[in-house]
């Protein structure tokens, strides 16, 4: 397995009840059997994506279109249409606020939040003659993404590139009569289909994640192979599925046990190292939008080590006991530049690398949380390469689906979100014009 999960520090006096966890873990078995059957018969297409290869030719073609003579690639999408791609980009160090463009590679920009100043700043800073845009909306009617797309097309036209629009854009959306698909047809922009039965926040293994992955230089087959390894125990030919053999089932039982044990329960996701920061943000949406229904669910909180040792750790150690902690560790020792100093007061740092200090700090945080009686799960990886990031994403999609079943909610809808969208549209109509 590409990662190693340890939940042993979640149980004991003042922590979670092992008996409750064991009961919940056993309850995942019927759902696991259903998921195993769904993987075989295709009734839940998400579970067939890791083994799929027939869609990758279209992804490769669209990626080649976007990367041809490109100085910058701008990803337009929001929520599930962007966060997975951001996590993939960050895993290979091609997306972080402080990072310059890699030598010989285009700059990558993710405009996932609808901010007028950010949009204007990015578009004003780019050479629009060689800038490309990938527009992603599952529904084809996402207001924020359509507004971004129309703005970008307008800028290209204003710069004199009106007759070359199709060379600057690519689209991923569902089949059918949709605003984004009509826009693409108007300008002859190439389109790759978004699978209709895969929800946006679960879409990272579809073209939504695979096209950006190819543009970023990642191997889509390796990502999906990592995801497939997580599902391998869901093999109906192997007989009954044993929940204890599936880390995602353990995680789901653990999370629901925490939801029933802790007052106002929260889940803190804290990776060590920048390369998993966007992954935590991807998980935050997946968890919140899938489980926050009927008064149920736990609040996902993202943190980043070591920096949040200085902003959050005091609360975690001295504040209310209402959190389940998941800390992601990496093999950091020996990584990075080495410090050199003659100052005797800094001798403890001399000869050490940045990775040595970060590794010592992640170990110290884990030990301190355990010593202070906080329920803690650790997930250890060597590095976030393509198979590992694919495995982690499938783990947490599966964990979310299983947790939803234990809570008795539908993991695939988001009824409360639709109300806000309708109100926003009504307010926009009030502007007239």
- pTM, 2 dp: 0.95
Give dist(CA 146, CA 137) in Å, integer.
8
Does the annotation mark 296 as catalytic? no
Peptide bond into 213 cis (omega under 30): no
The tens digit of pLDDT for each residue in 37-70 reads 999 999 999 999 999 999 999 999 999 999 999 9
Does the annotation mark 293 as catalytic? no
Whether residue 101 contacts residue 130, with contact meaning beta carbons closer than 8 Å, is answered with: no
pLDDT at 400: 98
- Helix (H) or strand (E) segment spanning residue 139: none
pLDDT at 71: 94
What is the helix, strand, coil percentage profile of the chain, to 5?
Answer: 55, 15, 35
DSSP states of 276-329:
GHHHHHHHHHHHHHHH--TT---EEEE--BTGGGTTTHHHHHHS-S-EEEEEEE
Active-site hit among 163, 237, 310, 419: 310
With H, G, I as helix, E, B as strand and everything else as coil, classify residue 51: helix
Which domains does the chain carry? 4-36+239-407 (3.40.50.10490), 50-227 (3.40.50.10490)
Active-site hit among 174, 277, 289, 399: 289
Residues 6+ apart with CB under 8 A from 53: 221
The tens digit of pLDDT for each residue in 273-319 reads 999 999 999 999 999 999 999 999 999 999 999 999 999 999 999 99
Does the annotation mark 310 as catalytic? yes
Closest CA to 366 of 298, 319, 313, 302: 313
The tens digit of pLDDT for each residue in 124-156 reads 999 999 999 999 999 999 999 999 999 999 999
């Amino acid at each position: 397995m590409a990662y190693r999960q340890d939940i042993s520090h979640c149980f004991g006096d003042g922590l979670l009840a092992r008996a409750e966890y064991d009961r919940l873990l056993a309850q995942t078995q019927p759902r696991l059997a259903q998921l195993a059957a769904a993987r075989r018969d295709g009734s839940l297409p998400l579970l067939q994506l890791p083994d799929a290869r027939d869609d990758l030719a279209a992804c490769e073609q669209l990626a080649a279109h976007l990367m041809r003579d490109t100085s910058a690639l701008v990803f337009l999408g929001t929520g599930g249409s962007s966060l997975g791609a951001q996590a993939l980009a960050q895993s290979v160090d091609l997306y972080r606020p402080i990072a310059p463009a890699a030598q010989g590679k285009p700059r990558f920009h993710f405009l996932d939040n609808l901010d007028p100043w950010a949009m204007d700043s990015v578009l004003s800073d780019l050479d629009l003659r060689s800038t490309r845009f990938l527009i992603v909306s599952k529904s084809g009617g996402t207001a924020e993404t359509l507004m971004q797309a129309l703005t970008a097309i307008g800028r290209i036209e204003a710069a004199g590139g009106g007759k070359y629009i199709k060379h600057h854009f690519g689209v991923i959306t569902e089949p059918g009569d949709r605003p984004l698909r009509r826009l693409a047809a108007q300008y002859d922009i190439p389109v790759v289909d978004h699978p209709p039965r895969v929800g946006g926040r679960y879409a990272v293994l579809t073209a939504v994640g695979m096209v950006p992955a190819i543009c970023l230089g990642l191997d889509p087959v390796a990502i999906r192979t990592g995801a497939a390894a997580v599902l391998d125990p869901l093999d109906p030919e192997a007989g009954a599925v044993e929940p204890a053999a599936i880390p995602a089932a353990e995680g789901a039982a653990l999370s629901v046990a925490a939801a029933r044990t802790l007052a106002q329960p929260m889940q803190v996701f804290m990776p060590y190292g920048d390369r998993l920061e966007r992954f935590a943000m991807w998980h935050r949406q997946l968890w919140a939008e899938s489980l926050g229904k009927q008064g149920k669910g736990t609040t996902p909180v993202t943190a980043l080590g070591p920096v949040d040792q200085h902003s959050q750790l005091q609360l975690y150690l001295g504040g209310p006991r209402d959190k389940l902690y998941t800390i992601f560790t990496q093999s950091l020792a020996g990584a990075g530049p080495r410090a050199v100093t003659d100052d005797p007061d800094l001798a403890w740092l001399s000869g050490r690398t940045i990775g040595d200090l970060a590794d010592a700090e992640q170990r110290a945080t884990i030990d301190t949380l355990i010593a202070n009686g906080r329920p803690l799960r650790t997930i250890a990886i060597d590095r976030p390469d393509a198979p590992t990031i694919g495995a982690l994403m499938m783990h947490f999609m599966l964990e979310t689906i299983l947790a939803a079943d234990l809570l008795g909610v539908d993991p695939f809808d988001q009824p409360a979100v639709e109300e806000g969208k309708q109100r926003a549209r009504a307010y926009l109509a009030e502007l007239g014009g």
